[in-house]
Amino acid sequence: MKKSELREIIKEAVFEKMTEELCKKGKAYIAKRKRAGEKSSAYLSGRAVKVCKGQMQGENTLNEFVGKELEDRNNPLYDKLVAGQGKSETVEGEMLRAINRIAYRYYNDGDEYMRGYGTETAGPAHSFLVNANHPLKSAMVKIFGDGTNYEQTIKDALDTILDYIESRQGKYTPNNVGDMFDYEPEFEEDNDDYDDYDYDDEDDDYMQEHDSKVKTDDDIEFKISLKHLLDKHILKKDD
């Protein structure tokens, strides 16, 4: 067995131990994200904690997060300009498609374009907005570059894109910038970084509260389980 494979086995065992006291919704969220291809990480467990605390839901409408005013402006333009599948026919439609992708992935799954699994799910959309040769490129570079609050940055970018589209008064530009998914993410996923997730005080309280059962006996139990994993997956030289 390769060292990388052994490392993944140990990493998964540690992750399962860290998350075994989560609520059912939190565990279901982790299972859903893993089915989608996301790997175990502190960032994933941190979002599962937020699900348990009610700070993240399942499938939500954009209105719950960006507000009714932005939602009311977004919906009719999205329906008009964004294709049901594939790239939009206009530059304006592809910009709106990209920012909605970033918003959807964050508000429904906690994905952020610059870290973890979000580099795959939202990274191309962000890359399109800051790299494609569209009229709002400079504005997007500034908004995403200067933003310090992820949610507010999404709202600012959406507001700016909507302002521009509305100013066109129906005179849209044929798509000459391509499909947002053809753009390489600006950031790379780092599945080995267990310190990447920024826990807040409430997250720490939750984990401490549900970690109170993990005492010395449990630690011994974990070591035994880990030894079992090693015995199970590593072939001894004599075998």
Same domain? 175 vs 70: yes
Q: Is 193 inside any structural domain?
A: no
Distances, alpha carbon 149 to alpha carbons 40, 61, 182, 194, in Å: 25, 20, 27, 22
Same domain? 77 vs 50: no
- Contact between 174 and 91 (Cβ < 8 Å): yes
202 vs 132, residue with greater confidence: 132
Same domain? 107 vs 178: yes
Q: Is 26 inside any structural domain?
A: yes
Same domain? 152 vs 115: yes
Which tens digit of pLDDT belongs to each residue from 204-231? 555 555 554 444 445 555 454 555 555 5
Same domain? 152 vs 96: yes
Average pLDDT score over residue span 17-43: 76
The count of structural domains within the chain is 2
Same domain? 76 vs 172: yes
Residues 189, 117: Cα–Cα separation, whole Å:
6
Same domain? 87 vs 32: no
For the entire predicted model, the pTM comes to 0.61
Of 156, 182, 208, which closes a domain? 182
| pLDDT recorded at residue 175 | 97
Same domain? 91 vs 121: yes
Same domain? 207 vs 176: no
Domain that holds residue 95: 63-182
Sign, CA torsion 56/59/60/61: positive
Q: Is 188 inside any structural domain?
A: no
| pLDDT recorded at residue 197 | 47
**Amino acid symbol at 175:** N
Which tens digit of pLDDT belongs to each residue from 54-87? 766 544 446 556 788 898 899 899 989 998 889 9
Q: Is 208 inside any structural domain?
A: yes
Q: Assess whether pLDDT exceeds 90 at residue 26.
A: no
228 vs 197, residue with greater confidence: 228
Longest dimension (CA), the chain: 76
Same domain? 20 vs 113: no
Q: Is 190 inside any structural domain?
A: no
Average pLDDT score over residue span 157-170: 97
Token pair, residue 129, equals 């907005």
H helices within the chain, ranges in order?
3-19, 24-35, 42-52, 63-66, 68-81, 91-109, 118-121, 123-131, 137-146, 150-167, 201-209, 216-233
Same domain? 54 vs 67: no
**Closest to 141 in 3D by CA, of 156, 131, 154, 153:** 131
Same domain? 226 vs 116: no
Q: Is 131 inside any structural domain?
A: yes
